[in-house]
Each structure stands twice: as C-alpha cells, then as structure tokens.
Structure 1
C-alpha cells in the first residue's frame, strides 16, 4: 500500500542463508500447528457450540441422565461412583473458516534485508494454509492491491492457496488508480465471511488510513489477527549520498541528500510517527497485532506470538463454560 516515498532496491537473492519463505522447518511448523489450532478454536463463540451428546471429541461435562438421553452416552464409571446414571456431554464440532486478506500491492515488493516484504507475506500465508489444512478447516483468500481483488472461496486443503500464490507471484497485476485499498478489501471480507471465524490480515498497513472502521466492523464478528510486515530501511536512512526515493505505487520521486544528518533524522521521525499511528489504530480496533520484519527469523517470532496468545486465551474454557451454562438453563 502506498505511503511515504521510499528507496526501491533490487530484490535480494535467495540462498540457504537467506531463503525467503521456502520450505517451513518441520519443528517450527509443529509449534505453529498447535498454537494456531488452539487460538482458532478459542475464537469459536459459545453460540456456535451446540450441546449435542456424542458429537465431537472434546468433553464439556458429565451430568445426570435425563429421560430421552441416548443410553450409549452413559458414563458407567461416574454412574457407579455416584449411584445415579450420568451421561457424557461433548462439545459439538463444526468446521471453521479462516479468511486470509493478503496485500499484494507494489509497496510489498520491497526488501533491503534478508528478503522482501512479499516473501514474508507469502510465508505467513503458507503457514496459515498449512495449519488450516492440517486441522480440516476451510481457508479463503482475498488478495488486494493489484487492481481488482482476487478471491479464492473457502475450501479445505492447500492446493488452491499454492496455485493462487504462484499466479500472484508470476503474473503481477499493474498498479494504478484502480488498485484496491485495504479498507475496501476489509469491507469485502466482511460480506464474504458471514460465518464467524478468523480473519488474518497480512499487509504493511501503509498508505490510506481507510481501514480502521472496516477493521472494527470485522472485529465485532470475527477474531482478527493483523500481521504487519516491515523493512528496516523504511525506518532509517543510511548515509549513502544522493538518492531518489520512489513511491512504487504512484511513481512519485523525491531527491534527498542522505549525507545530511538533519534529513536522516527527519525521515526517521516521520517513519516512527507513521508506525505509531498504525499501532494505535490497531489497538483501538482490538485486533491481535504482530510485527514481522524482512530481517531475521520472522517465523519463530510469529510462532512465539501465537503461543503467547494461546496461553492468554486459555483455550477451551469459554467453550466448556458456554455448553455447561446452556445445559443448566435447559434443565431449569
């Protein structure tokens, strides 16, 4: 997404030490698998969990037997211990839909560290797709910023995601006035994702601030994770002499003399203010926010963030409490 003019260097070459997304290490994916699975399950609201006996695998509660209960669900150990028939109630399972809102605008094709921002975004998409397919959840994709949005309807498995990423990588769409903004993309996501689930936004969040209202509307119905992709050189100018800074989406150019400390300081201050605006806006929406850089091991940072979120959410407790409350209401 468009923002302050910036230097556009050639994309870094890939190597074993700087691979871009590439194959995700299995041990890290195992951590991602567990953490993302638990976080997704914690976002399923109580009204979507039905107290269906014998459906699902997660035990919600053991309660006294009532006429009409299926005798196959009697817990004989509890019955013997309490001298009264008891049945096991399980949380009803339903497939969850995850929507991936992926920024493919020209500003994402930028990178001065180990990889480009678009490489990190693609890696995040692959990680989310891997976890969704492993858990049998459906994944939908809305790619924006390259002209008309591209939509992959929710489906199980990763083949659709891989095909879409390959298409976006090898056939980039031209930029121009018709490019979809993040705000418009989120408004579209709200109409596509009617069943409550998880929306993962992968973007640099630069340019227009038209996304805060649509994101708040999404957050009212869905769990939202905002993955912000940054590059070190977008925050600090180095002393490299005369440079032309170019906005990759509008073509606007600005000449700067980076030998002047005053210029470098002004650039850093403006960049810091812009990033704080993004952080503040995301805090106001209540979205879960994680920042990933083109430099360093972005995947481990992503996994660590998800694990911390999973621990804070205490996955499963809200679901079991909701089922128990419904059962008590039905009994009363």
Structure 2
C-alpha cells in the first residue's frame, strides 16, 4: 500500500461502533466520578433529596401527591440535580502528528478519535472543551454544548498541524496544567498524542487523574518502530527539524533503533499504569475505531 501523500481523514465511523464505544466510555467514567453525575444542592433530577411542606413560591408541579394525601397538607418533592458531563480534549497538533506510512497519517487517526469522543460527549446535553498543544502556546476553548461544541471541534481540527521545528518538550505538560486549572468539576479528559519527545508531564497527568477520568490515546505509525535496510538515508526529526544521515544497511543501527523505540513505548505504558490512566495505543495501519473500542472494553 502506498503511503498517504496528505491528510486522508479518519475514514468511516459506523454508528454501531460508536454506540459500542459510548458504552465503554460510560463504564470507564462511571467508575471514576463520584456518583452518577450528581451535583451539590437540590433541583431537577431523578433521585430524591427531600420532601418538605409546601412554601409560598414553590413550583406547584413539584407537589408530591402521596405525601400530601398522607399528611393532609401540601408537600413538595425535591431531587438531587443531575449535571451534564463535561469532556475535555487535549489534542496534539505538533508536526510529528503529520506523519504516516500506512493507510493514513497519525493526524487522521487523532481527528477520528476527537470526532468520536466529541459526538459522544455532546449526547445527553453534554459539553466539550478543547485544548491544543504542540503549535506554540496552548490554546484552550471553553466547554460548549450542542451544535456550538461540534462546530468548534471541527474548526480546531481543520486548522492543521504545526510546521517543522516548532518543538516544545513541555507542551504536553503545559496543556495538562491548563486543563487542570479550568476543569473544576469532575469529568472526562481525553489526551490524544504520540507522546514523542515530551517531558515532565506525569505530575500534571496525575493531578488530573485525582479528579477526573483520564484516557490517554497514543497514536503511532509502524514505521516508527523499525527502519528498513535501504542504505544511507537522511532522517529529519519533524519536531525539532534536526537532520541526520544514517546508514540503514548496518544491522547494529537497525537493532539499536528498534530497541530505543521499544524502550520508549514501554516506559510510556508503565508510567500510565502507575498513574492509573487508561491507555489506548492506536496504529495508523489498523481500524482505529475498532481498536479503541476493544482497548476500552
């Protein structure tokens, strides 16, 4: 299969798979949030908070017929209000995401995950906030619901990726810190990145995990794990723009490259396990939606 020359898009997103993903995400979030999306105080909901005598100004629609008949005086029923779930997307738009040698680029997979999570987040009157990093300063968009949230997400995805050389090793850490400051109520945080050349992000990830359900989606390309024996080539780091010549015909070079990459990914997986963060590695040569659902389940 020829490598993609440009953005290919995320591909088909069958509704059945999206529904299965919704169930998996709901199970993860329900296990991390306090209660079933409960909020403090009383209001409109399904869980009883209290029944008290009717007072002037109360909504007559809240009169509880059973309590009124039992006591002989009007009583009103108050419930625990159910708040909407706010989902935050921390999206990597660095230049290394614009790489791919299989059916699509890493940015295409990231776009698909962002759209899928965004659609799930906006169900049941939910809201979605967006933080992009890897393209200069972190850009944060406040949570929006309904059509406004989807429009903001599509506009963000359409902005593209950073140019070569705009590398900030602390971009991920800064983005997680910004999200932690603005996301005050417990919710869901989805980090979509290749996690390449990022430092000192574990502490900020742990702070988020203490309050929110956190999902780390790692996007990688199979060519990043090994290099073919094609002789001397010039390799350019898309994050820093650094250019290096490598003789790929030497087995020692290829083995060292594979060992370093395997060590990097193993360290990432170990750190996420230590932080108790759900880890979903996705590849550009696979059905990313199917793999995401399987990982979460």
Q: TM-score, normalised by structure 2?
A: 0.82
Question: Secondary structure of the residue that 1:135 maps to in structure 2?
Answer: helix
Question: Secondary structure of the residue that 2:249 maps to in structure 1?
Answer: coil
Matching of residue 148 in structure 1 with residue 137 in structure 2: yes
CA–CA separation in structure 2 for the residues paired with 1:193 and 1:205: 22
Report Cα offsets for 1:4-43 as digits up to 9, x if no partner.
Answer: xxxxx974467xxxx5403422221121233323433443
Structure 2, unaligned runs of 5 or more: 55-61, 71-76
CA–CA separation in structure 1 for the residues paired with 2:203 and 2:43: 42
Structure 2 counterpart of 1:279: 269
CA–CA separation in structure 1 for the residues paired with 2:263 and 2:168: 28
Higher RCO structure, 1 or 2 (CA under 8 Å, sep 6+): 1
Matching of residue 210 in structure 1 with residue 179 in structure 2: no
Structure 1 counterpart of 2:10: 21
Structure 2 counterpart of 1:236: 226
- Answer whether contact 1:144 1:179 (CA < 8 A) is retained: no
Q: Indicate the larger mover: 177-186 or 274-283.
A: 177-186
- Answer whether contact 1:226 1:287 (CA < 8 A) is retained: yes
2:284 is aligned, of 288, 294, 306, to 294
CA–CA separation in structure 1 for the residues paired with 2:129 and 2:51: 42
Structure 1, unaligned runs of 5 or more: 1-8, 80-87, 309-332
Q: TM-score, normalised by structure 1?
A: 0.74
Question: Secondary structure of the residue that 1:200 maps to in structure 2?
Answer: strand
CA–CA separation in structure 2 for the residues paired with 1:47 and 1:298: 29
Structure 1 residues 26 and 257, CA gap change in structure 2 (3 angstroms): same
Structure 1 counterpart of 2:113: 124
Matching of residue 113 in structure 1 with residue 102 in structure 2: yes
Structure 1 residues 98 and 273, CA gap change in structure 2 (3 angstroms): same
CA–CA separation in structure 2 for the residues paired with 1:291 and 1:20: 19
Structure 2 counterpart of 1:164: 156
- Answer whether contact 1:53 1:73 (CA < 8 A) is retained: no
